[in-house]
């Protein structure tokens, strides 16, 4: 039988060899290991969810702190930015931003100078939106709520995938060993049968 129902049926036979006289002790061991791997993957879900929730809470607290200590400002470039405004790979995509000397005023009205990112090829006097910290120095844009949520979800998925991958790897290794053991047993039985047939 093909399709999802066929795969489900094969999975059911693998985890429940039953009283099939052809089922070997190794088949039952493999079934037990498979059940343990599946159970472990299911039990890992709440742990991964808790880890993702903690990650979201930590990132959300960081975002709140950054929003409280940073504010937007506008810098004016003091020189033309080098480079081409578009990449030369033929795709026509905007090139990455480049550093350019600029000046800006902080919340207290103090003038600052330094390097900011501007579009390649932009002329001197270009106004550039930046974020400043409490000292009036350039800082990154505060984390958004959506970024905190994405980080939490990604952390949960990554942890669950790592646990599931480790369980799958252990099961695959154990199954490989069992297959080799069964193959060796078949070789010994075949050799014994050939030796017996000579008499």
Report pLDDT digits (tens) over 31-59.
788 889 999 999 999 999 999 999 999 99
Picking from 101, 126, 141, the residue at the C-terminal end of a domain is: 141
Rounded Cα distance, 188 and 167, in Å: 32
**Are both 53 and 79 inside the same structural domain?**
no
Q: Is residue 48 part of a domain?
A: yes
Q: Is residue 2 part of a domain?
A: no
Predicted confidence (pLDDT) at residue 198 exceeds the cutoff of 70: no
**Are both 28 and 47 inside the same structural domain?**
yes
**Are both 75 and 124 inside the same structural domain?**
yes
Task: Give residue 114's domain range.
Answer: 71-141
**Are both 95 and 36 inside the same structural domain?**
no
**Are both 76 and 32 inside the same structural domain?**
no
Q: Is residue 1 part of a domain?
A: no
Q: Which of 45, 64, 67 is nearest to 157 (CA)?
A: 45
Q: What confidence tier does 136 reach under pLDDT thresholds 50, 70, 90?
A: very high
Instruction: Provide the edge-to-edge strand list for the sheet that holds 111-118.
Output: 111-118, 98-105, 71-77, 127-132, 138-139
Rounded Cα distance, 34 and 86, in Å: 54
Q: Given this model, what pLDDT does residue 63 score? A: 93
Q: Which of 158, 140, 142, 139 is nearest to 55 (CA)?
A: 158
In the chain, how many domains are there? 2
**Are both 57 and 88 inside the same structural domain?**
no
Query: Is the overall model pTM greater than 0.75, yes or no?
Result: no
Quick one: average pLDDT of 82-99? 65
**Are both 87 and 110 inside the same structural domain?**
yes
**Are both 112 and 136 inside the same structural domain?**
yes
**Are both 186 and 94 inside the same structural domain?**
no
Q: Is residue 131 part of a domain?
A: yes
Q: Are 79 and 115 contacting, i.e. CB atoms less than 8 angstroms apart?
A: no
């Amino acid at each position: 039988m093909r399709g999802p129902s066929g795969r489900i049926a094969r999975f059911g036979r693998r985890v429940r060899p039953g009283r099939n006289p052809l089922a070997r002790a190794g088949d039952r061991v493999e079934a037990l290991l498979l059940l343990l791997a599946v159970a472990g993957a299911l039990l890992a879900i709440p742990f991964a969810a808790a880890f993702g929730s903690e990650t979201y809470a930590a990132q959300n607290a960081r975002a709140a702190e950054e929003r409280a200590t940073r504010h937007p400002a506008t810098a004016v470039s003091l020189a033309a930015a080098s480079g081409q405004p578009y990449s030369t790979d033929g795709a026509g995509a905007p090139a990455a931003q480049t550093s350019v000397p600029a000046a800006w005023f902080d919340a207290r009205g103090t003038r600052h100078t330094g390097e900011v990112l501007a579009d390649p090829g932009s002329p001197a006097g270009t106004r550039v939106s930046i974020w400043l910290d409490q000292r009036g120095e350039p800082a990154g844009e505060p984390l958004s709520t959506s970024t905190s949520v994405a980080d939490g979800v990604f952390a949960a998925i990554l942890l669950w995938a790592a646990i599931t991958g480790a369980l799958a790897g252990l099961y695959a290794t154990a199954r490989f060993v069992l297959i080799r053991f069964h193959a060796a047993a078949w070789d010994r039985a075949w050799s014994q049968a050939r030796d017996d047939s000579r008499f």
